């Protein structure tokens, strides 16, 4: 822009000089002055021509620069557009991927939230059941019924129906929770369910040494009372076995007893009252089932022996019939051999007959040749 202003100023000066020269030429002057003016005008015209030429060159350069600038701007614009397109595409792809991943994440989150809701519902139901179980165990009669039901489930799952009876009354009017019917010896075994939950809770909830000592005495006395009651009620000479089972429906109570009260366990051994938990009772019942099966095998031994004797008789009869069948097969084989011999003879005779050349004698009768008569006569 500065160059254009300079050129415009030069053109204006040249035009002004031309006007001055023309004005001067119109005035009446002397020849020398007029010549000087003409020379000055010629110089101004040359300068103006040179200036116009420079202006023309400058215009060409400016046009070239303008074209180059336009090309550079076009190239820059194209490059910028391409880069913007690439950036836009990357942004679009990134947004699409992020949207897809976000959707998958939200879907997984929704699924997990549904599972969490379901788990919370189950936890709520379980909490309600636990509260119900605590209410049941808080009641002594309900607690006893709970132990009896668990005992019945274990016994019915392990033994056949003929091997047990529930709530059976003995000769001393005592009613056992379960009677396992065993052969003599040892005889029927009584099982009674006991659940000393109150004394066990007192032991667990004890915080001071005095409370712990009192709770231990309470738990020990409760267990010994149950052992003595079972020994007095359910061990009857000549009617039951010389021992009985006390069923504790809690593994925790059973573990506490054997871990910290060995004297009480020894006292139960001396009273021949075996204390069992759900796990040890199942093992005991499996042993009882094996004993019952062995006893049944002994009772059925004579039947098994009779069946074996009858089976031996059938085996002997089968052997005799097989021998007879073998003889029949031998005779049939001999008959087949003789049939084969006869068939061979018939085949040979047929071949001989086919080889005979029949001729006529003097009377016109057909007779075989001399050498072939023996063939027709046979061996």
Question: 68: Cβ–Cβ under 8 A, 6 or more apart, which residues?
Answer: none
> CB–CB of 213/169 below 8 Å?
no
pTM tops 0.75, yes or no: no
**CB-based burial, 167-206: b 16+ in 10 Å, e otherwise:** eeebeeebebbbbbebeeeebbbbbbbbbbbebbebbeeb
- The least confident of 151-155, 196-200, 252-256, 366-370 is 366-370
Give 346-378 pLDDT, tens digit per residue: 888 777 777 665 555 556 555 555 555 554 454
Query: Percent of the chain scored above 90 by pLDDT?
Result: 5
pLDDT of residue 266: 92
Q: Report the sign of the C-alpha dihedral through residues 177, 182, 184, 189, in that order.
A: negative
Domain boundaries along the sequence of the chain: 1-57, 137-299, 305-373
Give 35-80 pLDDT, tens digit per residue: 777 777 777 777 777 777 777 787 778 788 888 888 888 888 888 8
Asked if pLDDT for residue 6 goes beyond 70, the answer is no
Residue recorded with tokens 């165990």: 137
Beta bridge partners of residue 180, listed in sequence order:
164, 189
| Of 133 and 365, more confident | 365
| Of 174 and 379, more confident | 174
| Pairing of β 189-193 and β 244-247 | parallel
How far is Cα of residue 195 from the mean position of the Cα atoms in its chain?
A: 40
What tokens appear for 132 in the block?
């119900």
Query: Percent of the chain scored above 70 by pLDDT?
Result: 78
What tokens appear for 328 in the block?
């029949």
């Amino acid at each position: 822009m500065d160059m254009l202003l300079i050129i415009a100023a030069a053109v204006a000066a040249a035009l002004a000089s031309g006007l001055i020269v023309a004005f001067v030429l119109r005035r009446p002057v002397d020849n020398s002055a007029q010549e000087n003016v003409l020379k000055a005008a010629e110089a101004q015209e040359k300068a103006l021509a040179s200036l116009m030429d420079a202006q023309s060159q400058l215009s060409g350069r400016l046009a070239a620069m303008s074209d180059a600038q336009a090309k550079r701007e076009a190239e820059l614009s194209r490059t910028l557009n391409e880069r913007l397109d690439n950036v836009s595409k990357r942004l679009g792809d990134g947004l699409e991927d992020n949207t897809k991943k976000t959707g998958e994440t939200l879907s997984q989150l929704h699924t997990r939230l549904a599972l969490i809701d379901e788990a919370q519902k189950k936890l709520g139901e379980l909490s309600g059941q636990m509260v119900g179980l605590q209410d049941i165990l808080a009641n002594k009669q309900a607690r006893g019924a709970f132990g009896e039901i668990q005992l019945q489930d274990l016994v019915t799952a392990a033994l056949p129906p003929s091997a047990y009876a529930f709530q059976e009354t003995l000769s001393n009017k005592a009613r056992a929770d379960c009677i396992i019917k065993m052969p003599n010896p040892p005889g029927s075994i009584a099982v009674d369910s006991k659940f000393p939950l109150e004394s066990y809770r007192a032991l667990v909830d004890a915080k001071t040494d005095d409370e712990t000592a009192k709770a231990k005495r309470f738990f020990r006395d409760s267990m010994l009372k149950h052992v003595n009651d079972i020994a007095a009620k359910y061990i009857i000479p000549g009617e039951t076995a010389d021992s009985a089972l006390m069923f504790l429906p809690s593994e925790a109570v059973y573990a506490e007893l054997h871990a910290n009260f060995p004297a009480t366990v020894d006292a139960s051994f001396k009273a021949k009252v075996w204390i069992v938990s759900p796990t040890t009772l199942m093992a005991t019942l499996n042993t009882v089932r094996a004993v019952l099966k062995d006893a049944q095998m002994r009772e059925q031994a004579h039947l098994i022996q009779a069946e074996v004797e009858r089976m031996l008789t059938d085996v002997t009869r089968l052997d005799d019939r097989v021998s007879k069948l073998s003889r029949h097969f031998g005779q049939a084989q001999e008959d087949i051999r003789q049939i084969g011999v006869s068939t061979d003879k018939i085949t040979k005779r047929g071949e001989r007959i086919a080889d005979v050349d029949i001729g006529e004698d003097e009377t016109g009768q057909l007779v075989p040749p001399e050498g072939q008569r023996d063939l027709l006569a046979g061996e």
